[in-house]
Amino acid sequence: MKTELWKKPKGVKIISGFPGMGLVGTITTEFLIEHLNAELIGKIRIEEVPPVVAIHQGKVVEPVGIFYNKKYNLIILHALTSVAGIEWKLGDEICKIINELKAKEVISIEGIGSTSEENPNVYFYSNKKDGLKKLGVLNLNEGIIIGVTGSLLLKGCTNHICFFAETHSTLPDSRAAAKIIEVLDRHIGLKIDYKPLMAKAVQFEGKIKELLDKREKASKFKERKELTYLG
């Protein structure tokens, strides 16, 4: 595993979104990259996962891309690949990025299971002393946090905020992602127009699903080729 950065802004805030329940982190970061016109400034190369690359609109989509918006001095970590089994290593790599860029804050985005399909709530957990209830989110008093977010919390390498949106599905959930974007707007001041947000979010939901389907088909094709070769 190796990080490549060709720009190194300092004093940034980092938003991290990895595939999870409802793909909330992935949809949220995809929307922010598009909305803020963030530029690709690096990538995390992970040898532990199959070398499967998605092509979208004639361009390679990095499995784990590092994007930057200068106006808000914001780094966005965007992932389209499963990182199951390498969460500790990836946490170490992100901590290196945090230290190298002297990040002020890391914001992790996750989905959390819910049986309700209407008006999803957003919860937060933070290792900072000050609360975030002023944003209109609920404090997560009980729960289990796993994956890269859990790894980062245990490493404690920076001020860390986690936002969790309720989602009722393992399928891409644009409604939950939209609620997270609304909270991020209040927290960072991104000045997002909320009226077209849901329509945009649905578009990104479709895009993410298409890209992930392509990756899954490519992975299965690769496995069949290996079986044929070995057979």
* Pairwise CA distance, residues 49 & 220, whole Å: 13
* pLDDT digit string, tens, across residues 168-193: 766 777 788 888 988 998 889 888 76
Please state the rounded mean pLDDT for residues 93-109: 94
Looking at the DSSP bridge assignments, the partners of residue 40 are 67
> Does the structure show a pLDDT above 70 at 72?
yes
* Pairwise CA distance, residues 129 & 116, whole Å: 31
Please state the rounded mean pLDDT for residues 109-126: 81
* Pairwise CA distance, residues 201 & 121, whole Å: 17
The amino acid sitting at 68 is Y
Q: Answer yes or no: pTM beyond 0.95.
A: no
Q: Which domains does the chain have, with CATH numbers?
A: 2-230 (3.40.50.10900)
> Does the structure show a pLDDT above 60 at 142?
yes
* pLDDT digit string, tens, across residues 18-62: 888 888 898 889 889 988 999 999 999 888 776 666 676 777 777
